[in-house]
Amino acid sequence: MCPREAAIAEAKPTSAYAQVNGLQLHYLDWGTKAAASGHHRRFSAETRTILLCHGGSAHCHWWDAVAPQLVEYGHVLALDFRGHGQSQWAPSYGLPAYLDDLTKFIADHLGRRVVLVGHSMGGEIAMRLATDSPHLLDGLVIVDASPRGLPLKTRLIWRWKRRNQSDTRPEFPTKEALISRFRLSPPGHCLNAKQLSELALKGAEQLPNGNWAFRLDPRTRKLSPGWRLPRCPIERIRLPVLIIRGEHSTLVSERQARRMQQRIHASQLKIIRGAHHHVPLDNPDATAAAIGEFVASLSDG
């Protein structure tokens, strides 16, 4: 086992909860390099805080192979948005609600500036926070996300699918049956069957009746009125920014990524080789290296 694999295997994050907008939001606290060595997990004025945000219908474990590699650069946290992962279900969902939750989580619960890393939907929310509340951030990392959201064709297909989805959470008699129904969307990825099974179970639970179900609230998938926001004015961002794109992404083209780099002042662009849209899953080593170099550059600069 190489040193990187050993570090990931030994990493044991702590589950924690924050009261935000009347909801219990779950997050994983991966601590710092000192904490990984056995010291007490705590925030320090000298240590940057790196906050990782997942995409739609995902959860904080999307970052499990990335987060342990970032603890040498700061105090690493991974958040579950409302209705996702182990966070509480809510009466309403949508970008405005997620953005408000994230803003208050940083301002009120953490009470300190963060390097905000967002993948897919989490990246769009992170961009909006950077334009609305830049005083809360030290830097921004956008991972395979666009300020205009999903491509129109993809949005129309997903909207049609979600209209036919029930608000009732499906149950499965066994965990094997649940795993067999698990799919990544969009479908392109580099994970093997074992990795997919582990990811599925990390986002699932066994119910009191013995059945299995995904923790995700099915209503998060409904594109109800008010779900979206106007196009994000990313040209207003005046923070250090790293844009990451998966080489084979079908949701963010290379042209879009380079256009974003042109619109965001002094931003950097990194293409993660071999990765599809699910960049932190497909190539966690290169993703962690890119984020780590960016965070280190903040201290250097």
Query: Is 185 a member of any domain?
Result: no
Query: Is 216 a member of any domain?
Result: no
Query: Is 211 a member of any domain?
Result: no
Domain limits at 250?
3-151+230-300
Query: Is 204 a member of any domain?
Result: no
Residues in the chain, overall count? 301
Q: Is the pLDDT of residue 35 over 90?
A: no
Residue in 222, 240, 26, 251 with CA at minimum distance from that of residue 120: 251
What pLDDT, on the 0 to 100 scale, is given for residue 221?
82
pLDDT tens digits for range 255-291: 999 999 999 999 999 999 999 999 999 999 999 999 9
What pLDDT, on the 0 to 100 scale, is given for residue 230?
83
**143 burial type by CB count under 10 A (0-12 exposed, 13-18 middle, 19+ buried):** buried
CB 173 within 8 A of CB 211: yes
Q: What does the block give as tokens for 205?
A: 């639970």
User: What's the rounded mean pLDDT across residues 240-248?
Assistant: 98
Q: What does the block give as tokens for 139?
A: 């830097």
- Place 39 in a pLDDT band, splitting at 50, 70 and 90: very low
Domain count, the chain: 1
Query: Is 224 a member of any domain?
Result: no
Q: Mapping DSSP to helix (H, G, I), strand (E, B) and coil, where does residue 37 land?
A: coil
Query: Is 182 a member of any domain?
Result: no
More confident residue, 197 or 148: 197
Q: What does the block give as tokens for 90?
A: 């809510």
* % of the chain beyond a pLDDT of 70: 84
- Place 3 in a pLDDT band, splitting at 50, 70 and 90: very low
pLDDT tens digits for range 82-141: 999 999 999 999 999 999 999 999 999 999 999 999 999 999 999 999 999 999 999 999
pLDDT tens digits for range 164-209: 566 789 999 999 999 999 999 899 999 999 999 999 999 999 999 9
Mean pLDDT of the chain: 90
Query: Is 169 a member of any domain?
Result: no
Check which CATH number belongs to the domain holding 63 and give it.
Answer: 3.40.50.1820
Query: Is 28 a member of any domain?
Result: yes
